[in-house]
Amino acid sequence: MTNTTRPRILMTIMMALTFSRTSVATYFPHLEMYGGVDANAWFAPWVSDTILGLLVPVMIYLLWRQTGAKVWATLIAYNALGAFDYSHGLATQWHYPQATEGAVSAVIYLAIGLGMVLNIAVALMMFRGDVMRHFLK
């Protein structure tokens, strides 16, 4: 095991946990514009969640199979953008709480907040000396 294997395993787990954000693709019928009860303000967060979630396998592939400054920067940018997207979701939940039957605000805040923390953690781990040396060699 190289000195970057453990951090990359941890980053893989954290990024894989955010793959669940793709499930929001099934929420679009709940938007007011489609006759649902959730505010249309959720449209943008759900679109970006779906796209970012679908990119998770690509990012994990890059983490394990590619090196270089562009890959390193791409992984940082992806996780920073993912964290920003989660913060957008938190703001949307604050102003326009999901009204779909069974939607519990505390659970929504917890799920969104956890995803944001995971993306921030991965972005910060990319600045570890050993990880930087691995990608920037």
**Burial of residue 45, with CB atoms counted within 10 A of its CB: 0-12 exposed, 13-18 middle, 19 or more buried:** buried
Nearest alpha carbon to residue 126 among 77, 55, 58, 61:
77
Q: Are 48 and 18 in contact (CB under 8 A)?
A: no
Mean pLDDT, rounded, for 27-31: 95
* pLDDT in the model for residue 137: 86
Interval 51-82: pLDDT, tens: 999 999 999 999 999 999 999 999 999 999 99
pLDDT of residue 1: 60
C-alpha distances out from residue 106 to 47, 74, 97, 124, Å: 22, 32, 11, 27
pLDDT, tens only, 98-132: 987 787 899 999 999 999 999 999 999 999 999 99
How much is the average pLDDT of 28-41? Answer: 96
Q: What confidence category does residue 84 fall into, taking pLDDT thresholds of 50, 70 and 90?
A: very high
pLDDT, averaged across the chain: 95
